[in-house]
Structure 1
Amino acid sequence: MAYQALYRVWRPQTFGDVIGQDAITTTLRNAVATKQVSHAYLFTGPRGTGKTSCSKILAKAVNCLQPQKGEPCNQCEICQEINANSLNDVIEIDAASNNGVEQIRDIRDKVKYAPTRAAYKVYIIDEVHMLSTGAFNALLKTLEEPPAQVIFILATTEPQKIPATIISRTQRFDFRRITATTILERLEYILKAKQVPYDKQGLKLIAQAAEGGMRDALSILDQALSLDNKRLTLDNAIQVTGTVDKKQLEAYFLAIIAANAAQALEDLHQLLASGRSPHRFIEAIIETCRDLLLIKTDDKLLDDFSRSLISPQIVAVHDQISQQQLYQMINAASQTQQDLHNVSRTDIYLEVLTVKLCEIMQSTNSEESTSSLSQTLQDLQSEVEQLKQNMADLQKKIAKAPQATASPKTAPAKPFKSATGHTHVDQQKINQILANATRKALNQVREVWPDLMSMLNVTQKAVMKVSKPVAASSAGVVVAFDYAMWFERVMSNQELLEILKNNLDKLLHNDADVVIVAAENWPQIRQTFLQNHEITNSSAADVKKTKSTNVAVDKAQKLFGTELVELKKD
């Protein structure tokens, strides 16, 4: 006989064999025992939780020749024929491939005929949500007034797609995801029955990877046993599930807690090189943060199953990380998890996530945050006082200014600040670059940009991956950063700036400056240059026609408003 998969060999044959759905099986068993079986049932829930198995068990129980307290005997000819799928009175229909109105009309025409051998004719319609609107309408009348000896069992994973008129005519049972502990007990029972030795830690990984589906757990176990029929090992379970090895995750997470970005990136590359799934890796980060959060909230909240999967070394350093940092790490990992579904280079996003997690660990505590806020307020107050002084000086200059029109001058470059208001941009250098910027020069920089990245170390490369050149000339290159926070870090890192300039000089064979800006400020910086460039190139005749081009008047109007500024002749 051909080999049968474990989920087929160990499919439940009685209500007592079904695990994790005690409330449902007890209700169905009592209904059969008291002969209060409904004419239509709706079984809903995730895949692999027992919907189809309970449907077949119910079909056997209502037709069994020797029922035992609502359970089928599995010995009589009716039960054996149903187990062999050879009884004509039990009809299984896959709605995914038979979803047309014609198939349902055929059922409606045949349902009026009495069963040939069994007491009840049972229709099991799997994935019923796939039926078309016309098919649902054809089924509706039959469900409303069915013949006495007919039972309909509808199974689906997406009950929200079934019309309410259909649901209201059935008894609905919601199958829940099976807990990992329950799945583990069932897998241990099966391996003991097969007399196969196993590593319990590997079995726990399979139970966790099944995500509440018993059929998925058996399929994964079947695959793991195919690697080594003699025993189930932890390595086989890791290889089949793609789960991150506990030792690898431990080394990575300890580097994150220590805010050692270089070591964490190295551990990440080793982990990916070993063939681990990026999606499983993100899940492992979230699960570890969740476990630490439960431990910090109340040590008793973490169950024994989850505690056995987390590294004791990680648990030992949970005091070094705050709850607020755990929240931020979970949010960052969740966002990256969403991004991974739409990208091909998952390693880049994981590298960026790694640096983000290290920055979260470097973040200040609440006292330092309060101190920083206080310092920011002091800086703002100083700037306000300086502006007031500038306005007073301008008022004096305007009062003393002669009527004659001043010659046009280039508006002074204004320093721009980053989003956090701490790092200034050298507008003068940017103006020098933009004055002679060309598309050809920018394309040359973009061509050598990958070579420039390859000349950096792992940490520098991870930071610079969120940057790009936006303007270039013989005088230098302007580089924009997507995140203001990383722009500030690079601005304060003179070593990295020197490395960028020296390497770029080698690649382009010239002596060019490297100026970095935040991407959010770049449009305003460029617009300021264009406005100043227009003022410089305007003719003297145009300047004489309008007094607003006077630099002092322009500044006064910008500071006080055109309504408050009045020009008087001497």
Structure 2
Amino acid sequence: MEYQALYRKYRPKKFSDLLGQDHIVTTLKNSIIKDKISHAYLFSGPRGTGKTSTAKVFAKAVNCLNLEAGEPCGSCTICEEINNNEIIDIIEIDAASNNGVEEIRELREKVKYAPSKCKYKVYIIDEVHMLTTGAFNALLKTLEEPPQHVIFILATTEPHKLPLTIISRCQRFDFKKISVQVIVEGLKAIIEKENIKIEEKALKKIAKVADGALRDAISLLDKAVSYSPELITTDAIDEICGTVSEEEIEDIILNIINKETEALLFQVNNIANKGKNIQQLIEDIIYYLRDLLIFKNVPEYFSTDNFKVFSELELNNDDIYQMIDEFNRTLNEIKYTNHPLILLELALIKLTTGVESKELKKTIEKDKEIKEENLEKKEESKEEIEDKKESVEDSEEILEKLKKIRINNTLALADKKVLEEVKIKWLDLTSYSLDPELGPSAGLLLDADVKVASAESVIVSYPYESMALRINYDIENMEKLLHLVIGRPYKIIAITEEEWLKIRGEYIGALRTGKKYTVIKEDVDYGVLAQKNNSEDLKSTSELEQKAIDIFGEDVVEIE
């Protein structure tokens, strides 16, 4: 007999063979035992979790001649013919290639005929979300009132694409991702039967890479057997999947902690030269850091001592949070670039050198110097203090006026297409990050969250007001840099996340009531803001100092 793929060879033939979906198995078995079988079922969930297999087992069970506690016997003529795909009463349809109105009309004609051998004629429609609108409409009436001898089982990975009229006519079962432990147990049963030699760590690696899909895990095991027939090791799995070993990830994190920038850059370049997937590498690092964070706070959660090397290091939760945040941000930015390695390198440099952390340190140190000088000087006269207060109030009023105008005008001309273009060009700021003059500004802009954009301006947000103020009080230099990146004069205004939530709510409310934003002429002389940027008041803001201390090394502005 010709070779058969493992996932086909070990496809479940009984409910007891189905793994990780006990809630569904119990419900279906009880419905069969009590003869409360519905006319239509919807199986939804991630790929490889057993939707089609469950549908086939259910089709076999409802037609089995010698049912045993809701389980198909597997030995009667009906069960044997279904196992050998020799029966015409179980019809499996691929909606991806049979998604038109004509195919569904043909199905409607055929459902009228009684089954040839079975009690029920069962239609299994896989990837049902691929049907066209017309096909769904054609199916609707038949699905609502099918003949008594017909059962429909619809399977899909994207239930949100199905019309509500279809969903409401079905009994819905949501399949969940299968846990790593359950996948490992399932693979062990196959390994024992096939006499496959594999390391325990390699087995767990397969289960983890499968991401909850048992079929993917079995296929990967099949591939690993071909690659390394004598003994499957973790190195073999890493080669097949393009993943990186835990030891290498551990070295990366240790080098970050020890600020070994040069070693890190050599390491990630060597990994990239081996053809490893950079996105997968970052995901693996985040996953490892997540485990490390749990280990530090709940050591008994893990039965192994994988993180023993970190137990002797002075590593607190904030350090891990910072690394996770940085890698997560890099992972999000990778989708907009063709050079993922560069973004990873920038993230590593940022984590090890803390270029902008030093800049913020310098601001705080300067602030202390100013305070010491002020203590040595005589008290300023009341007139000078009043003058300073008026200057501060003027600059704050101008900034508030400028913010209102720019926010209004950007929302009035907001364009989603322009927003996507701006986000892509925004990444070009990385080319200026090491520039002695433009680097600090580029790094600050790279840390911004671009919210709304028009052809003329953009609104960005920051988690802290002190960061937004650094943009707004240096707005002329920021716009000069954006001119270089965007390719045309481009305005910017920075707000806090809290302000953005309020603005977004007002904007949505305006849209619902039919209110339209109209462009306002910008007649604001914001030259005074530059003076404010260079003044002692901004540098010695107590809020900036406190935020810097609270978030130092974590959410500080950093050069990418």
Q: How many residues are paired up? A: 414
TM-score by length of 2: 0.67
1:105 alignment counterpart:
105
2:141 alignment counterpart:
141
Amino acid at match of 1:19: L
Q: How much does 1:185 deviate?
A: 1.2
Work out whether residues 44 and 157 of structure 2, in 8 Å CA contact, stay in contact via their aligned partners in 1: yes
1:340 and 1:329 map into 2 onto residues whose CA distance is 16
2:309 counterpart (299, 313, 332): 313
Amino acid at match of 1:169: R
1:353 alignment counterpart:
347
- In the alignment, structure 1 residue 480 sits paired with structure 2 residue 438: yes
Amino acid at match of 2:97: S
- In the alignment, structure 1 residue 232 sits paired with structure 2 residue 232: yes
Amino acid at match of 1:292: L
Work out whether residues 430 and 442 of structure 2, in 8 Å CA contact, stay in contact via their aligned partners in 1: no
Describe the superposition over 1:469-494 as per-residue Cα deviations: whole angstroms up to 9, x where unpaired: 7xxxxxxxx8522656699xxxxxxx
- In the alignment, structure 1 residue 337 sits paired with structure 2 residue 295: no
- Structure 1 gap segments, 5+ residues each: 396-462, 470-477, 488-517, 527-553, 560-570
- In the alignment, structure 1 residue 177 sits paired with structure 2 residue 177: yes
Work out whether residues 47 and 213 of structure 1, in 8 Å CA contact, stay in contact via their aligned partners in 2: yes
Q: How much does 1:333 deviate?
A: 0.7
Work out whether residues 480 and 519 of structure 1, in 8 Å CA contact, stay in contact via their aligned partners in 2: no
**Identity between Structure 1 and Structure 2 (%):** 43
1:325 counterpart (299, 319, 328): 319
2:477 alignment counterpart:
522
Describe the superposition over 1:94-133 as per-residue Cα deviations: whole angstroms up to 9, x where unpaired: 1111111111111112212111111100000001111111
Q: How much does 1:288 deviate?
A: 1.9
2:73 alignment counterpart:
73
1:485 and 1:387 map into 2 onto residues whose CA distance is 38
RMSD, matched Cα:
3.6
2:515 alignment counterpart:
none
TM-score by length of 1: 0.66
Amino acid at match of 1:63: N
Amino acid at match of 2:309: Q
Cα 1:135–1:179 change in 2 (3 A) is same
Q: How much does 1:287 deviate?
A: 1.2
Amino acid at match of 2:163: P
2:262 and 2:379 map into 1 onto residues whose CA distance is 44
- Give the number of the structure with larger relative contact order, counting CA–CA contacts within 8 Å between residues 6 or more apart: 2
Within 5 Å, which residues of 2 pair with 1:496-535? Answer: 522=477
Work out whether residues 258 and 361 of structure 1, in 8 Å CA contact, stay in contact via their aligned partners in 2: no
Describe the superposition over 1:35-58 as per-residue Cα deviations: whole angstroms up to 9, x where unpaired: 111111000000000000000000
1:376 alignment counterpart:
367
Within 5 Å, which residues of 2 pair with 1:26-425? Answer: 26-300=26-300, 302-304=301-303, 310-314=306-310, 316-317=311-312, 319-359=313-353, 376=367, 379=370
Work out whether residues 279 and 340 of structure 2, in 8 Å CA contact, stay in contact via their aligned partners in 1: no
Tell me the secondary structure at the aligned position of residue 231 of structure 1.
coil
Amino acid at match of 1:177: K
Work out whether residues 90 and 123 of structure 2, in 8 Å CA contact, stay in contact via their aligned partners in 1: yes
Cα 1:257–1:88 change in 2 (3 A) is same
1:10 alignment counterpart:
10
2:430 and 2:146 map into 1 onto residues whose CA distance is 69
Cα 1:69–1:479 change in 2 (3 A) is same
Q: How much does 1:140 deviate?
A: 1.2
Q: How much does 1:341 deviate?
A: 2.2
Q: How much does 1:297 deviate?
A: 2.5
Work out whether residues 295 and 307 of structure 2, in 8 Å CA contact, stay in contact via their aligned partners in 1: no
Work out whether residues 206 and 217 of structure 2, in 8 Å CA contact, stay in contact via their aligned partners in 1: yes
2:258 and 2:247 map into 1 onto residues whose CA distance is 17
Amino acid at match of 1:320: E
Cα 1:362–1:207 change in 2 (3 A) is farther
Work out whether residues 292 and 307 of structure 2, in 8 Å CA contact, stay in contact via their aligned partners in 1: no
Higher Cα Rg: structure 1 or 2? 1
Amino acid at match of 2:167: I
